[in-house]
Amino acid sequence: MHKLSQAKGFPGEQIMAPLPSARVAPTDPLFTHVGVDYFGPLCVKQGHSQVKCYGCLLTFLTMRAVHIEVVLTLEADSFICAYQRFVGHTGKPKEIYSDSGTNFTVSERSTGATGPSQNLQLSKVEQRSEVI
C-alpha cells in the first residue's frame, strides 16, 4: 500500500470588489437602480407560423425583484419601447446599468449618448422615446 500525504498549502483568501453604491442603498424605492439584459431568442407561435422574440430583463439592484418585457427585435427602437412600458408600469429609475451588448451600444449611439453603456444616460433615452 502507498501512504497518502496531505498537501501543506494554505487556504486562499477571496478578494471581492467593492459594490457600487446602488447595490447597497436599501432605503431607495423599488426599481430606482436597475440592471438590464436581453435573453432569447424565444420561438412563439403566431397564427400558423413561428416568430422569434426576445426578453428584456430589468432587475432591481438592491433586492430580488425583476421585470420582464417582450421585445420583437434587438434594435434600439425595441429597447426604447420596452423602456417606455417599464416606466409606465414601475416609474422612472435613476440609473440603468447594462453590459456592453451591441443592442445597448447601438441604443446609446441612436440616442446620442456618450460613454460606456454600463450606465445608460436616461435623459437621452427619454428624449428619443418621445420621438417614437
Over residues 39-56, the pLDDT tens digits come to 999 998 989 999 999 999
Report in angstroms the alpha-carbon separations of 127 from 47, 87, 109, 113. Answer: 36, 14, 13, 11
CATH of the domain at 61: 3.30.420.10
**Domain-located, residue 8:** no
Count how many Cα atoms sit within 13 Å of the Cα of residue 70 in the half-sphere of its side chain: 7
DSSP 16-47: -PPPPGGGG-TTSPTTSEEEEEEEEEEEEEET
The C-alpha atoms of residue 65 and residue 28 are separated, in whole angstroms, by: 13
Q: What percent of the chain has pLDDT over 70?
A: 73
Average pLDDT, the chain: 78
Domain extent, residue 98, equals 31-131
What's the domain count of the chain? 1
> Is position 99 within any domain?
yes
Residue 108's φ and ψ, nearest 5 degrees, are: -65, -45
Confidence check: pLDDT of 67 > 60: yes
The pLDDT of residue 3 is 73
For 89-116, the pLDDT digits (tens) are 998 888 888 887 666 666 555 544 444 4
